[in-house]
Amino acid sequence: MKKSINNALSEEEQELVLQGLLSRKIWRFYELLAKWAPIPLMLGHWYGVWDYGRYPRPTVLNTADNGNCIIWIYFLAYVYMPICMIPVSFFFRYCWIFRIPFFYFFGINAIRLYYQHWLITPEQLEMHHVFIIFTLILYAYGFIKIAITRSKCRIPDVSEWRMRIFGRRRENSTEESSVLDGKKTSL
């Protein structure tokens, strides 16, 4: 552990600092990716629905030849990503506005399961439009609520929830002890 003349930290300490900075950058990138990556996917789906509705045509993909590729892309975009990103959104304490794309993807999956077809069909088109309008209404409501209340978009921690539910903290209460406190009482 030799200390250099120009730096007060040893080489090992400098490496630890750089590793800490790198891990923070990785977490920051992961947080940004979890927050913003679903939105381009959702917008891309909106464009696909709009394009299909404007120029209705049969599906040009041959699912007999390309079925595995279609299933893989579908699984990544509409199953894996929402299932992996929802726990991340709870870990980073995102507010409900950043969770709207996940509900959108689950809704799209429900539509496709109901109509029993992997790709968009003319029968699904109206339901997709209704779901897109519902999603836009959720976004409008969320942003108007934030603008009116002038609050930050975040989920409060557990102590804030406890304060909202019980009105005060347990430590400050002047209530008598009860059976739930672990003390034996006689009837």
Q: Please, how many CA atoms are within 13 Å of residue 128, restricted to the half-sphere of its CB?
A: 23
Tokens read off for 104: 């959108």
Query: How does pLDDT run across 42-56, given as a tens digit for each residue?
Result: 888 888 888 888 876
- pLDDT of 115 above 80: yes
The alpha carbon dihedral of 174, 180, 184, 187 has a sign of: positive
CB 131 within 8 A of CB 111: yes
Q: What is the pTM of this model?
A: 0.61
Query: How does pLDDT run across 141-160, given as a tens digit for each residue?
Result: 988 888 888 777 665 555 55
pLDDT of 38 reads 79
Name the maximum alpha-carbon separation found in the chain: 78
Give the lowest-confidence range in 27-36, 147-156, 162-171.
162-171
> Which residue would you say has higher pLDDT here, 75 or 116?
116
- pLDDT of 111 above 50: yes
CB 38 within 8 A of CB 101: yes
Tokens read off for 103: 């509900």
